[in-house]
Amino acid sequence: RAQASNAQASAASEGLDALREQLRSAEDLRLALGQCSSRLQELRDTFEAGRLARLEVAEVATRAVEAKVRAVREEFSSEASQLGSLKSAFDGRWSAATGELKALMEDERREREAR
């Protein structure tokens, strides 16, 4: 009986040692998992910071392009206005010049008729 009891105690002790070893392994895995979780969160934070930085750069670039486009539009508008003024001035001078030429031609025609 004592031997059987010792064998049972020994088997139980071995089983308990195996369970303790499994428990230590599980604890090591839990610690490793915690470290992995922390590292994963750091990576997420890094990626998010990078994403936000890229968004900011894109927004700054967009504002710069919009400002340049606005300036070009204003310049084109100003030049279009100046071209309109130039066209009006040219039309006025053209009309005056053609009127003078017509008058000269009419005078010349009358002089020829008079001779």
Measure the CA–CA gap between 14 and 20, rounded to whole angstroms: 10
Please report, in angstroms and rounded to a whole number, the separation of the first and last CA atoms in the chain: 164
Q: 10 Å Cβ neighbour count for 107?
A: 10
pLDDT, averaged across the chain? 94
The H or E element spanning position 115 is none
Measure the CA–CA gap between 78 and 85, rounded to whole angstroms: 11
pTM listed for this prediction = 0.51
Higher pLDDT, 2 or 29: 29
Enter the DSSP assignment of 1. -
